Structure 1
């Protein structure tokens, strides 16, 4: 069943839970684990931990037990905020504080925010990423860093209280901070999308259309499995992977702003951005510089059966002149290559999600869409 929680209800419940955490002995600078699915309860837990002066450590409910145990022991967490369902499958060394629907029941004596003196240099949260040694490494993000992101994206994306923001990323992945705080900063409505819906690009498309969501942040792999157009969307943010230009062409419309972003966890979600330009011109790169291998000549195919948009994406009219004896179109192969000093072409890989098995081309997104 769908639930609605107002910002006032969320704030009062976070104050109440923060007071409870402080009474439990949580102190400024402590790390506190969170093991909850995407839900109002996970947002409540984040805010309560911050209000208590501590830093939260989000865990994915799909993590194996040894990873959860390692992270909690590594960060020295004495407490884990979770619910009965999420914590039942784990043997935990720290005390579990249950956060569920009843946590939003307000008692009048605990509605004021705790008076905690924190600085911008204090830790706000810690995200664990894969380490080169095989062990996850904790990346500590300060209040100054996350505040910089929140204020910067507020200016960049200009959301308003009428927006409806999809929350699709695991809270253990720092891209979730972009979704959550885009909504919180602007007063927009945040829609936590269930794990079941996230397993299918078509289900996510249906969810967005049904709820008329206006903002989506996702990875190119998921976008490649989704159905377009989605007229309610006005802002589409991509990140986390290489984003092929041709993937975005079908999504281009006058009412949809598409932004490609980049940034590691250590730089607090994103460090760079660029608005999608569908008229980006293909130019010839110098010798030694990687680029997409384009093929011309009389041997080119006519196009794709029943797929005029794909044909237009892959068989292009270049801005630069071609030989008089060559047809005036090129095929964009999707292969990354370069000319070496001898004039030979060196193959460097793919620019998209295609792989080859025994010479056969396989689109990984096609496989994922069938799973």
Structure 2
């Protein structure tokens, strides 16, 4: 057993998140705290609005009662988070775009009676009864859960993730653990009043909390933009430059798809949400201090964080970093193929211990504590890591859980929902590359292989009705028969061989574009009147489509051209000098 513990700190002398924000308010109340496309809030405004919200919270809720936050990308969402922390009420962020079924489950399990949402006045928040589509048939007041009674006052928030069983899991996180994580980030990333952080992560993902609070606890500026301005590639590149962003935490996919430029003001860049590759360090370390971050929802967002990395030191792998927050880290050896292959190094499952570990999973049957011997807090991450020269390096997951473009997804959950459709016999979901003739290790697409009578369009509509958008596969492949191994299990390695490689040259621009779209979505009947994103197009496949259009001669085509095209026909017709009968492939 290998163990690395952070030196103990005096918790009593440390400041809470609210105390750090209050300090920033006193230091410069006129300094901008939150900048949005339509308005800005100063630290004085943030203080005023959050304190006003506290009075409503205390009047309309009871200790221990969860309050929902409508997760819109605006200042009101941030004010609500600060106000609820100030009022010692736990919160859960609800995304209105997620399926009603998913949101009803969250509301019911956490007994949410009130939701904080913004008004027409920037930064102003009101508490409203939980909207009926989320509340379901329950019209009675829901009282706080008794199994959380001993933690009243020390719960910061609840956040949902997918477990290996295919069912979303509700994690209850303590305030105390969050304080240490934010304090360490603020210090290591040298965040100060002149810093400008881009709020990148989805608001229902816990990664957003580090972005938000390392900024507000340091008197810096949090920059919130429309989601369309965060598209990896040229769009994100423009956003970073135009808003003079100094601090960015984003996903491996976004870092790979976006190119740094001399005009950027970045000082610190963090990779989070997936394994980091040496090429990413090589690219971004040229213009900023580049950090790799590792953590789990169940262990309060981030547990390991590197200092600025040099490309030379990362040629054989990118380390996970040193301990963040108040936790211990150990490795439990397992008899796995990974340990055999890496026998010269210490290798096993990464286990997090200590205060950073969340309270536990909240289920319909009760609270499942993350506890070990002598009531210690322990969480086995399910990640295989190796130790070389005293540093941790990620190997892979113990189970089938995958990450696609920074989102952690359990394929079993998607498979289970797909098979609820009565015309689907079997389904297998894998993380693969959009283009089967590209690097086999790339995982920028979720692919659903299925057996049954349902057409791809029907199956997509079914999944969109029951799953959050990021869990819906980009590509669907219908098979007459699933390939199986000798022991009777689905042969997942053989599945990708059933996909058709991206087609080669065709006679016209239109023929080439439509052939490519069919390969990227799995829809053999994709046609001119389809909207690219309605049939499975996403940020990764958009980049492939743009590459083909540039290859054909549309040199200045960009993401906006694809976004603005109502149909594929509109995009094709916008091709410079488009005359389908005489345009040929380059």
**SS state at 1:91 partner:** helix
* Contact 1:128–1:137, Cα closer than 8 Å, also in 2: yes
TM-score w.r.t. the length of structure 1 is 0.69
Show the 5 A alignment for 1:151-190.
151-190=183-222
Which of 99, 105, 108 aligns to 1:64? It is 99
Does 1:140 pair with 2:193?
Answer: no
Does 1:288 pair with 2:341?
Answer: yes
Shift of 1:120: 9.9
Look up the match of 2:123: none
Change (3 A) 1:207 1:143: same
Look up the match of 2:278: 245
How many Å separate the matches in 1 of 2:130 and 2:111?
21
Look up the match of 2:226: 194
Which of 74, 81, 85 aligns to 1:46? It is 81
* Contact 2:178–2:300, Cα closer than 8 Å, also in 1: yes
* Contact 1:243–1:352, Cα closer than 8 Å, also in 2: no
Please provide the CA RMSD for this pair: 3.5
**SS state at 2:249 partner:** strand
How many Å separate the matches in 2 of 1:197 and 1:365?
12
Does 1:8 pair with 2:44?
Answer: yes
Does 1:92 pair with 2:134?
Answer: yes
Which of 312, 322, 334 aligns to 1:279? It is 312
How many Å separate the matches in 1 of 2:131 and 2:64?
28
* Contact 1:36–1:83, Cα closer than 8 Å, also in 2: no
Change (3 A) 1:222 1:281: closer
Moved over 4 A (4+): 83-90, 118-121, 281-284, 349-352, 354-366
**SS state at 1:206 partner:** helix
Look up the match of 1:327: none
How many Å separate the matches in 2 of 1:282 and 1:191?
33
Does 1:233 pair with 2:266?
Answer: yes
Change (3 A) 1:71 1:283: closer
TM-score w.r.t. the length of structure 2 is 0.45
Does 1:265 pair with 2:297?
Answer: yes
Look up the match of 1:324: none
How many Å separate the matches in 1 of 2:131 and 2:54?
26
Q: Which shows bigger deviation, 120-129 or 230-239?
A: 120-129
Change (3 A) 1:122 1:87: closer
Change (3 A) 1:88 1:192: farther
1:160-211 deviations in whole A, cap 9, x for unaligned?
A: 1001100011121000011001111111100112122123532121111111
How many Å separate the matches in 1 of 2:42 and 2:160?
30
How many Å separate the matches in 2 of 1:166 and 1:137?
28
Does 1:367 pair with 2:541?
Answer: yes
Structure 2 residue ranges without an equivalent (≥5) = 1-36, 121-127, 140-149, 318-338, 344-395, 397-438, 446-495, 503-518, 521-537, 546-561, 563-586
Shift of 1:287: 8.1
Structure 1 residue ranges without an equivalent (≥5) = 96-117, 291-335, 337-348
* Contact 2:294–2:305, Cα closer than 8 Å, also in 1: yes
Change (3 A) 1:162 1:71: same
Change (3 A) 1:239 1:5: same
1:57-90 deviations in whole A, cap 9, x for unaligned?
A: 0122321111011100010111112358999997
